[in-house]
Structure 1
Amino acid sequence: MVKNVKILMLVALAAISCKEADSSKKENKSEGIEEVKEIQKISLADKNATTETQILYKNLFDLQEKGYMFGHQDDLAYGVNWKYEEGRSDIKDVVSDYPAVYGWDIGRIENKEEKNLDGVPFAKMREYIQQAHSRGGVSTISWHINNPMTGGDSWDNAEGTVASILPGGEYHDKYKGWLDNAADFLLSLKDDEGKLIPILYRPYHEFTGNWFWWCKNTTSKEQFVELWKFTVNYYMEKGVHNLIYVYNVSNANVTSKADFLEYYPGDDMADYVSFDIYQMGDGEKQEQFIKDTKNLVAVMTEIAQERNKLSAIAETGYEQVPDKNWWTQTLDKAIGDEKISFVLVWRNHGWNDWLKPARMHYYAPYKDNVSVEDFKEFYNQENTLFQSDVTKFNLYSTAKP
């Protein structure tokens, strides 16, 4: 069944619901009260989360039962061979629909720079997040934050960095100032009514690897957990109550529940569990990607169900997507029948001179990519959710179609 048919069915169901509402206002009033009670039971890390954030979180659980949302990093900002064209998206160019999830990164906000580490002006990022929200989409934010101890970037993984920014550390006050700058940006994300836009916030991502200064090769479990808890509590002290916190491992060094949860900060400090994984080649590497993804999805899903959390593949992809059937025969096959909230593929930078060797660098299809037809098939599957699907689902409201 194609998306258009799905949408028509949703519209028909909505019309039936409206008729039922007219004939049974008393019953609907009772249901509305029960809906509010259900929202109040939601256990977010931030106990003072905005009503809109609580509603979104609850609805994401319901939506996960229908399928997984498709996401794309920097989708509205640029794509292959274009930048900052109003309303454009490589995904939209291919399937006439936007992704359901929009990924962003606030690296360089720590220095109050005009643009993030990928060259996206923060003013434009704010506009794009507002646009995505107005269409009913979801935004997720990561932070490739510079090293506060050395002055290097995120990849300057010097020993002792995390210890230096914890309470009592030499660079603690400096780091709090950086968090202040991030808080100011997060508090500037408001809708047309002036309400804060809920954000899936993914701090200290891929910490099970060995490439960032917060990774486990230079950080103890106790230090990481203290840093996580300090960050969450500090944001709340600053009045930032629109965040849904995403705990995120890399596939590196993670094969079991014990690996996945080794640095876990606790059920009261995380709202999502997630992992990042990329396919690095064809043949055996493709087979390994499917095997590893299947295993981690199963592990993650079990954890999420046991702890009443949402789950996601927060980053994935195959650079240049050279496999014409990658979307249906590799990615969707690897996810299988497990219930996850979303999967997000990385950005469509286009030609990239700083890569060695210099090459085209993109992870979602654009109109000339070999996987376009397969992506259309992927889009039309019942279990894949895009902008039109989440718009109809009404993620930011207690009212359901």
Structure 2
Amino acid sequence: MSTATEKPGKTEKPGKTRPKVDPLDLAGIDDLLSPEEKAVRAAVRQVCDASVDPYVAEWFEKGELPVVRELARELGGLGLLGMHLEGYGCAGMSAVDYGLACLELEASDSGIRSLVSVQGSLAMYAVHRYGSEEQKRQWLPRMAAGEAIGCFGLTEPDHGSDPGSLRTRARRDGSDWVLDGRKMWITNGSVADVAVVWARTDEGVRGFVVPTDTPGFSAPPIKHKLSLRASVTSELVLDGVRLPADAVLPEVVGLRGPLSCLNEARYGIVWGAMGAARSALGTALEYAGQREQFGRPIAGFQMTQEKLANMAVELTNGTLLALHLGRRKDGVGLRPEQVSIGKLNNVAKALEICRTARTILGANGISLEYPVIRHMTNLESVLTYEGTPEMHTLVIGQAMTGIPAFR
């Protein structure tokens, strides 16, 4: 009679080896992806390996992204700009495809993912969802190809988490609109060809498609950043910017417009943060296997293995959450609180993974010879942009209790 531990037919034959374990995918999440999804991921990884990874540490150190237009055209040629939108030169791919692309882009650098996210999920999405047919035809094909770069002007110097109090104003002057105001922390601002600017009007908050060569528009770059340094960040200045009547986005009035765009971009962050986390964990694992102290690799010490195991668990949990939200978005759509769960959890856990990885690298953890400190400082920005942890916590709290606690 077999004992409880004896299972006939389960004994491995001599010489048979188990499949090699991927230490960055212990749960086998890859098995849940289709061949087509894996192909999308591989294509993005290939372009990042060739055109980003060899240079991004230098860009970060210098605080510049000198090849932003060349990179935009390359990413556009791959179909990554507005890739989840339909028509007008957009690839029309799935939310999971887009998420996998964001993961690979942010595994290289958060600033590169931000370039793609702002272009596709903010500027292009706003025009695609709320623009006129003429606006769509004028801008979307060029933006999808990377021939035109867009930015998204909502955040102001004094109004970040409270966009309902924005001060940028659009007033009627005959049939024209005249815009005055300031926007702050705008990705792509000083290299953009078009800005989607949100302003207060007598009718409520409206969005405007603003060519950046319009008189009165300027976008001075923001200097002295210690995060997202391989990214273009600017202020937008609008001094009497005169636009024709058809510059307004006709299909939306109120904060529903910009907030729906932000939910699109936040979804990409849910995935992207796990890319930064994977890169940091992979670096720490490789380093721990090579770094010797007390006569053996530090990977052999229990406390190091505890750190590695905890990081692997959080990476697994976050990636599974991102995949679940992606499948749901492709199926029935996402509610705002579901996006908030993903953004709140995954960015915080990714930042924790990067900080832990930094400790494994010791003093080398602060060197740009390794990507860990770069990911860590980038995630400090990702943690608070497009919704601070406090705001996402309150979105979730309101969904649970039915009571808004924002004021």
- How would you bin the TM-score normalised by the shorter chain? under 0.3
TM-score of the two chains, using structure 2 as the length reference: 0.24
- TM-score normalised by L of structure 1: 0.25
Higher relative contact order, chain-length normalized (CA < 8 Å, sep 6+): 1
Greater helix share, structure number: 2
